[in-house]
Amino acid sequence: MKIKFILFDFYNVLYFPREDRINEEIVEFLQANNRKYGFGLLSAVHIDLENWAKDRNLKQYFQFIKTTEQLEVSKSEPDVYEMVANSFELKPEQVLFIDDLSDNISAAKKAGLQTLLYKPNKKFLEQLSQVM
């Protein structure tokens, strides 16, 4: 089944807090593919994620920006991923979830999503090509 929506983790995928740096490779992917896919941003970090994206001119690329606190669910539970797929009237297998934590990846797989365990030391597009 073709991927229609890509849900990104925020911390250590889109943003690297230790270096206070945005993942430019993902930003370039968002810019190049914003008509091909829908994009979402999900975080367990309790910040104002929407304003963070707005302040960095990234909000325009995301149709979904939420924290687990706002949704009152955990990323280690399948419910959150089912909720995202349902809110866009997609089948779970049409959604790709990208995260750096295997517990979250396992929960997304249980919900039926396609997944990518992100490795910060590898090029994003190389990792993505293995699942798409």
CATH number, domain containing residue 13: 3.40.50.1000
Number of domains in the chain: 1
Pairing of β 64-67 and β 21-22: unpaired
Predicted pLDDT at 130: 86
pLDDT at 84 over 90: yes
The predicted model scores a pTM of 0.95
Residue 1 pLDDT grade (very low, low, confident, very high; cuts 50, 70, 90): low
CB 85 within 8 A of CB 115: no
Domain range for residue 12?
Answer: 5-129
Among residues 108, 123, 18, 10, the alpha carbon closest in space to that of 62 is found at 10
Token pair 């399948």 is found at: 78
pLDDT for 121:
85
